[in-house]
Structure 1
Amino acid sequence: MSFVKRLEFGNYTLKFGEKKVLLDMFDEIVMPSFLEMKYIRKLGDNSEYFFLDTELIILDDNAEEPVLGIAGRMVKNTKLKRDQIFKEGELVDDKDEMESAPSSTFLLILNNHRLILTREVAGAPTIQNFQSTSQYCLSQAYKDFINKEFDEADDAKKKNPDLERVTKKKLKEDTPSPLLRITPLPDKESLEDFIGRFEKINKLSIKLLPTNREEIDNDDFWAALDKGRENMGKTQQRKWNLPAIKLG
């Protein structure tokens, strides 16, 4: 069976402590973390992940609110090893290795923090690989940012001893280390199919996770949920006890 490309979606939630999110540190940390091969995440001696062909693009040049995104590729550069093969009815020792670099293309829409990823070939990086690699690159960019801020403050202090001394501890308190979570998002069709599987739902739990302060747009989810609820029949008793939720 030939490999079939498909779009995968995720919500890219990035926070720096409780007060700063993705766009607050975009120029200083976020965009540098995506620069082509600036940071390389290594796994053992045979595999490494990195970004390639990345660029900041304009998706909609509306003068009042342009839509921007980061587009590029994520590469898994690895060596496939073998120790034996099955030949003429028996196992035969045959050590060999082959280089492989499957890739996925991605688009991160900055206005709503949505990630779109397509695996270009079999074995290409997944959304989970994207999260791990992006978290690593963000952490490295964060270290560079803290060091740069400290060095600049130290140089300024030498030129003007009256300035307040800046420590790395204080810089990290002002801007805590990045914490990334990518939540996979099903498309409209899969939501309807999922809800349609059930004749009866006895209990529903909804958990709202911290966001990047973007407006939440889940109209398709609620429409599909309501449609599935109506199909259960009016005789079913439905009682939802939802706690008060405060959105960050």
Structure 2
Amino acid sequence: MAKKRISVANFNVVFLDGQKELPLLSCFDTLFMPALKSGYVRKSGNSTFLLLNVNIVRDRQGDYVLVGNIVKKTVLDVLSDLNELGELVEKDDHYPSAPYSTFVIYLKNHRMIFAENQKGSPSIKSFRATIKYIVDKYVRIHNVGLKEAGKAELPIPIINVVGIPTRENLEETLKKVARINELKLKFYPLNGDGDIDYNGLFTSLTGKLRSTVGSKSGEIVLRSPENINGVIKVVTESEGIVEPVFKVTYPDKTTTTIKNDMISERKQIEIESGNFSDEMNRLIEKGKEIDSITYVSEENSRIYENNQAKIIPFIRVH
């Protein structure tokens, strides 16, 4: 058995075409998958991030799932070590390394799990930055040629990979603070998640208000909230359709910022070792045991049913 450290997130992608916001699957075959398979890489410091094995598979229920690996190509520098006598000695060794993580995106509701394969594997933060960089670059490069040819340009991607907070993490984190100084809720275009919002608060912010003023994103700030249970309820029920950021003070008077990644759902799961395909299938099924992965809104279902023909050409052939 291999232990995998996984994160749970909302993989939210919308394409802005003039004033229209198109869901991910509407541009899946013409833009999104070609971008992921473009071979573009992102460089950060001495490391290079790239996507490999990006494919569509079907799970046991016949639903389409986008899978792949993000690889961090880097060089490990060893500048010191212990010799056979236990003495500290200087060294100057350099070893190439390519740790990877695996992403599983359930296209029926664009919830995802992100599994780190080993220590040093790319984080979900690196995945978010790499996906945004690659898709943005693909659109930017292709739009130059399309504009010169007098053709319609590709729509602009708006990509948000937002961890899904859990009640347990929120309670554990907030019980240590003396005071919440500020709760900021960042909102962005939604990809079919409107009816996750049980009280209608987030839908009005992310949709109606934002579109009325012509803004791609926004935020509301709640200062000095005192009802901790109310805060936990609001953030938990958001299910990743807003991104919470806390500014807090601890009993020793120190202050800090608690970001969404710090309260999002993470798990350790065991996956039976095997070849890449077998491990991927087991990871897909393990993900579907997580409550926050399974919910599918009515709008999610409608978008998925209307765009399946755009997914099918990318199914992996064994």
| TM-score bracket relative to the smaller structure | 0.5 to 0.7
CA drift at 1:190: 3.4
Partner of 1:214: 193
- State the Cα RMSD in Å: 3.7
1:40-189 matches, cutoff 5 A: 40-44=41-45, 46-59=46-59, 67-87=63-83, 91-147=88-144, 149-150=146-147, 154=149, 166=150, 171=153, 175-176=155-156, 178-187=157-166, 189=168
CA 1:199–1:52 in structure 2 vs 1: closer, same or farther (change >3 Å)?
closer
The one-letter code sitting in structure 1 at the alignment partner of 2:24 is L
Between Structure 1 and Structure 2, how many residues are aligned?
198
CA drift at 1:33: 2.4
Partner of 2:266: none
The one-letter code sitting in structure 2 at the alignment partner of 1:185 is I
Q: How high is the TM-score relative to the length of structure 1?
A: 0.64
Q: Deviations over 1:62-115 (max 9, x none)?
A: 6xxxx3221111111111113333555765331110111111111112222212
CA 1:6–1:93 in structure 2 vs 1: closer, same or farther (change >3 Å)?
closer
Alpha-carbon distance in structure 2 between the residues aligned to 1:171 and 1:116: 32
The one-letter code sitting in structure 1 at the alignment partner of 2:193 is E
Alpha-carbon distance in structure 2 between the residues aligned to 1:60 and 1:192: 35
Partner of 2:33: 31
Q: Which has the larger radius of gyration?
A: 1
CA drift at 1:146: 2.1
Alpha-carbon distance in structure 1 between the residues aligned to 2:80 and 2:114: 35
Instruction: Flag as ranges the 4+ runs of structure 1 deviating above 6 A.
Output: 198-204
Q: Deviations over 1:142-190 (max 9, x none)?
A: 1344256447xx3xxxxxxxxxxx26xx736xx23x2322111134653
Alpha-carbon distance in structure 2 between the residues aligned to 1:199 and 1:147: 51
Paired residues of 1:5 and 1:120 also in contact (CA < 8 A): yes
Sequence identity (%) = 26
SS in 1 for 2:122: coil
For structure 2, the residue ranges without an aligned partner over 5 or more in a row are 199-226, 235-241, 243-318
Paired residues of 1:60 and 1:68 also in contact (CA < 8 A): no
CA 1:111–1:191 in structure 2 vs 1: closer, same or farther (change >3 Å)?
farther
CA 1:171–1:239 in structure 2 vs 1: closer, same or farther (change >3 Å)?
closer
The one-letter code sitting in structure 2 at the alignment partner of 1:40 is V
SS in 2 for 1:28: helix
CA 1:59–1:217 in structure 2 vs 1: closer, same or farther (change >3 Å)?
farther
Partner of 1:7: 6
Paired residues of 1:28 and 1:145 also in contact (CA < 8 A): no
Q: How high is the TM-score relative to the length of structure 2?
A: 0.51
SS in 1 for 2:40: coil
Paired residues of 1:80 and 1:98 also in contact (CA < 8 A): yes
CA drift at 1:27: 1.5
Paired residues of 1:76 and 1:101 also in contact (CA < 8 A): yes
CA 1:79–1:216 in structure 2 vs 1: closer, same or farther (change >3 Å)?
farther
Q: Which has the higher contact order (CA 8 A, sep 6+)?
A: 2
Alpha-carbon distance in structure 1 between the residues aligned to 2:197 and 2:95: 45
